[in-house]
Amino acid sequence: MLLDEIKKGESKRLEFKEKLPSNEAIAKTVVAFSNTSGGKIVIGVNDKREIVGIDEDKVFEYEEKITSIINDMCYPTILPEIYAQNINGKIVLVVEVFRGSLLPYYLKNKGKLKGTYIRIGSTNRRADETLIAELQRQRLNKSFDEEENFEYKIDELNLEIIYNEFKQIGKVCNYEKLKNLKLIKQINSKDIPTNALLITLGKFDNTSIKCARFKGVTKEEFIDKKEFREDLFTNLKNAIKFLQNHLNLNAKVEGLQLKEELEIPLLALREALINAIVHRDYLRNSDIKVAIYDDIVEITSPGGFPNGLTIEEVMSGRSEVRNKIVANLFRELKYIETWGSGIAKIKKLCEERGIKFEINESGNFVNVVFYRPQVPNSVEKIPNNSELPANSQRITSEKPANLTNQEEKIYDYVIKNNKIDVKIAEKLLNVKSARTREILSNMVKKGVLQKIGKTKGSYYILKTS
């Protein structure tokens, strides 16, 4: 219902006007809606979402005026639906615009370069040349990564990178396979790499992934930074390792097995990174960014949702592929299972673990945010000897003979409390942090303790024999 939409406020597909706006304001919004996701201009609603209505006698006059404005000022031709609607006894006028097929749309008096507008959030923004070119490709149903690139020669490229990826999943890939995947095209009997091949091999400046672990909840101070500038597959693997190194491990003992889980499901993080790599806008001179704060993990991908998708459509599983060749390659390599399944998988994994997860479109970027658990899960259960079969390997309470006095104190504490961390050990031994870490590290080397986690929140438990 329109009333429900109004209550949610202005958005990518909805704009309010208390009174009939200026000619150019109407034309800009209509053009922006046509170039993006379509939408509605509702006249008779103010910025506070209050329905103030319009004079019922003005409805036909406004309809004719708006139709004339759109015909006179917009190109190519845009045919909106204009209708009046009664909401709680007040009349509003709705101008409903649909996403067009003759992209890009623009203001006639300003021309294509200066008069093309798109919808970003609840505002209209003038499109730059890069966006205009992208709209033209959408009109032809052709993606940037499909285009041939004449700056590189095939023999300058290391195709073994892709061959090895196929080999790892037990598939054979050769030169002809790359042609079938449209990574290589033949022009005038000459083989030419496509942008997709160059993107995959990391030949563009913007194909890197920048990762940072920040101290606290702002970007004021960082603990660690890495920039991965190789091929897409290596970048993905390195970014995942970075996340593993800087997120806490939760552990629980099930029988004789120690089961460790990253505080945020690793498969969900992996899926978000793959989505960022496959769906980002490679025309934009920005990198994918992975930021870890004390409270969240944020993965930022350049480019808004492709082809005018809205957040609601994305969350419901609708898939629009910006980079068709790259996406198909990742699907062939089993990084992608089914089109549109990635977000559903992330949602399911996070719901199972009680992790809050959200996606936002902010300007020309998409942000995927995972909220970190505030308190890492402790070891759920350390089985005692009576719960284990007599002939099984087990955690033993027999004190190892090769322990120093300080190590014995730590051992005795863990026997009673199941685990110990650096701060507790520091107080227990009354020594400095560096020395405490050295002692714990030696106990790990001796096979007495096992460290759980790698950064903040890490702790030690007795190692199973």
Per-residue model confidence (pLDDT) at position 374: 73
Average pLDDT over residues 323-352: 89
Q: What is the pLDDT of residues 381-394, one digit of tens each?
A: 333 333 333 333 33
Q: Report all structural domains of the chain as residue ranges with CATH numbers, in order of start.
A: 2-139 (3.30.950.30), 144-200 (no CATH), 209-371 (3.30.565.60), 385-462 (1.10.10.10)
Q: pLDDT band for 349, please (50, 70, 90 cuts).
A: very high
265 to 269, 350, 371, 374, 453: CA distances (angstroms): 7, 7, 11, 15, 14
Per-residue model confidence (pLDDT) at position 405: 81
Quote the tokens at residue 66: 């708006």
Q: How far is CA 104 from the centre of its chain?
A: 27
- Other beta carbons within 10 angstroms of residue 182's beta carbon come to 16
Average pLDDT over residues 292-307: 91
DSSP string over 411-433? HHHHHHHS-B-HHHHHHHHT--H
Average pLDDT over residues 40-44: 97
Per-residue model confidence (pLDDT) at position 15: 96
Q: pLDDT band for 256, please (50, 70, 90 cuts).
A: low
pLDDT at 314 over 90: no
When the pLDDT of each residue in the chain is averaged and rounded to a whole number, the result is 88
- Other beta carbons within 10 angstroms of residue 432's beta carbon come to 10
Per-residue model confidence (pLDDT) at position 413: 87
pLDDT at 397 over 80: no
Q: pLDDT band for 398, please (50, 70, 90 cuts).
A: low
75 to 25, 99, 112, 124, 249: CA distances (angstroms): 15, 14, 9, 17, 56
Q: pLDDT band for 403, please (50, 70, 90 cuts).
A: confident
Report d(CA 303, CA 275) in Å as an integer.
Answer: 12
Nearest to 236 by CA among 278, 197, 265: 278
22-31, 378-387, 421-430: least confident range: 378-387
Q: What is the pLDDT of residues 446-459, one digit of tens each?
A: 888 888 876 667 88
pLDDT at 289 over 70: yes
pLDDT at 332 over 70: yes
Q: What is the pLDDT of residues 160-201, one digit of tens each?
A: 999 999 999 999 999 999 999 999 999 999 999 999 999 999
Q: What is the pLDDT of residues 52-108, one digit of tens each?
A: 999 999 999 999 999 999 999 999 999 999 999 999 999 999 999 999 999 999 999
Report d(CA 305, CA 303) in Å as an integer.
Answer: 7
Residue with the bigger pLDDT between 391 and 13: it is 13
Cβ 91 vs Cβ 59: under 8 Å: yes
Average pLDDT over residues 37-43: 95
Per-residue model confidence (pLDDT) at position 60: 95
Rounded to a whole number, what is the distance in angstroms from the first to the last CA of the chain?
A: 64
pLDDT at 375 over 70: no
Q: Report helix, strand or coil for 451.
A: strand
DSSP string over 147-187? SB--SS-GGGS-THHHHHHHHHTT----HHHHHHTTSEEEE
Q: What is the pLDDT of residues 123-172, one digit of tens each?
A: 999 999 988 998 999 898 889 999 999 999 999 999 999 999 999 999 99
Per-residue model confidence (pLDDT) at position 255: 61
Cβ 219 vs Cβ 292: under 8 Å: no
Q: What is the pLDDT of residues 231-242, one digit of tens each?
A: 999 999 999 999
pTM of the model: 0.71
